[in-house]
Structure 1
Amino acid sequence: MRIDKIQTSLYTYLFYCIILFFTACTSSSESFEQAPNGLLYTFRVKSNSANTPKQGDRVLVRIRYFAHDSLIFDSREISSRFIQEIPEYNDSVPTIFQAYMFMSEGDSLTCKIAAKDFYSQLSIAEYPQGIAPHELLRFEIRLEKIFNPHEFLSEEERILHDLSEQEQYLLQEYIQSHYPEQKPTKSGMYYIEKKAGNGKKPHSDAQLIIHYSISFLDGHVLYSTASANNPLRFSIQDTSVWPGLTEGVQYMREGGLATFILPSELAAGKKGENPIPPCKTIIVRVQLLKVL
């Protein structure tokens, strides 16, 4: 019995030594450098490439970010070729674009950016549920390829062709799975009425007030005016509004609810708009509150 107790104590001691060892290794691997503007970053992989991006370049990246160790976003769930342009940006606050500028092709980097700084870059006023403005989001980035503007023009054509084919496949797969009897309109959108309205129908120069949400086919919600308590007011004649949204609301009556499934050419376009990537079908859920 005494030998058993000694062995048990020894195993317990060794177990705690192992835990302490791995904790120390983890802590050292998570040692972050701090840029002058406060960006925290550390390289997980540093390549031998001397090719670094400049403003105006496009970067092909794999990016994931987390809050409370929970995954919030993974670019692979949106597109296998997630490309972003590096715009002019305010270098007095940490940005994801600054992190890209630190990297070379083949590098992997982890950085931390406050939610308020990151979401302000995307012009998103409302943070995902449970995320506070000053909370540090953790980003894991791998920079795979850099394109200068000239290189990107030819590469863009090939990429858009591949992405367009992928979009059509995913859209048809989604329709067959969720709305197999639904037919598209002449423009190519799918209009699914959820609740018929009994109020006024929009006329050609109407002003409308709506609540809407936009999401990807996988259910990832990008924005909701209802959550932000910020309904949208716009004119049927407003050409800055997505064509699919303008078309869809004209099928509705005041008080109605509907879902629009919009191919990219009726939404953010084949080239996308931040944070929507190229060739991305969008689901818009609309409540028509008022026709003015």
Structure 2
Amino acid sequence: MMMKKGFLLKQILWISALIFMFGCGSEEQFEQTASGLEYKFHIKNDSARPVQLYDIVEVRMNYGTHDSVLFASGNQTIPFQIDPIYEGDLLEGIMLMHLGDSATFVIDTEDFFVKMMQSPQIPDYADGEDKLYFDLKVVNIITETPAVKARRLEATERKLAEEKTIADYVEENNITVAPTESGLYFIPITEGNGSKVKNGDAVKVHYTGSLLDGTVYYSSFDRGMPITFVAGSGEMLAGWEEAILMMKPGGKARWIVPSSLAYGSYEREGVKAYSPLIFDVELIEIVD
């Protein structure tokens, strides 16, 4: 499925053992890094193993607004690799921590969802909130293994080569349409009928997702299970949110989607980090 909210939220690892303390104190209780990241430690073990760049860190976490919990991991711990995405992000905050530490970090809402989670917009459940508060506890720290390092370096190579990879594909397949400003290629096959999809429309689609080499990693056609989603809701990949607005009911198209509009640095089954993707899409209907 292309719905990524649940998929990506599970990649980012969160804690439950702490009770939200954000509403209990003033902003003056928080310290600030040079990048502007606000933080407050509840438990700090300076003598314990520190978190370092590229470590695999297992955490528990809650996050929410100043007065509401939006996510709680319970007792579950999830591993993720420390490789900050932008200055002042949550991963930068975790690099301040040691094994056993617990802390609260204040993160800009739009930066978190758009830059870190790679959502096209802030989800409805967090809309209107300028800041999110993350209560986090470091449960385990694992040094990057040679195999994990090799995978990370391979991903970096794909990222650096992606622009040329897409350009080569476009040239080899005689694609003449120009990309959109975001870098997406929309190749119409069948125009369809009626009006184009608008934000807020519920749509039913069939699609096949594949890599540029033709490897199919998912097909709703093969499963006989079309998907339904609301355009503009932020529940889909950014490339989907953009391209679906170019389609009419009954229309078919091929989309070439750069990784920045797809899964980016995240991996999913059959898709490596920084992989541009191809989607062959049929818009079955706009659902009343």
TM-score category (smaller protein): 0.3 to 0.5
Structure with a larger share of its residues in helix: 1
* TM-score, with length taken from structure 2: 0.47
Work out which of the two has the higher radius of gyration on C-alpha atoms and give 1 or 2. 1
